[in-house]
Amino acid sequence: MSPSRPETFILGVDPGSHQTGWGLIGVSGNHLRSVEHGLIRLPVKESLSARLLQLHEELTVVIERLQPDEVAVEEVYVARNAKSALILGHARGVILLACARSGVTPAEYPANTIKQAVLGQGGAAATKERVAFMVRSILGLAEVPEPADITDALACAICHAHRREMPR
Chain positions contacting its own copies, by CB under 8 A: 47-50, 52-53, 56, 76, 78-79, 81-94, 96-97, 99-101, 105-106, 108
Catalytic option among 7, 57, 64, 74: 74
Residues in CB range of 69: below 8 A, 6 or more apart: 8, 9, 10
Residue 147: cis peptide before it, omega within 30 degrees of 0: yes
CB of 90 to its own copies, least distance (A): 3
Angle between helices 48-66 and 82-101 (to 10 degrees): 40
Catalytic option among 14, 58, 70, 152: 14
CB of 87 to its own copies, least distance (A): 7
Residues in CB range of 75: below 8 A, 6 or more apart: 108, 109, 110, 111
3 state DSSP class of 140? coil
69 labelled catalytic: no
Would you say 93 or 140 has its CB closer to its own copies? Answer: 93
CB of 86 to its own copies, least distance (A): 4
152 labelled catalytic: no
Residues designated as active site: 14, 74, 149
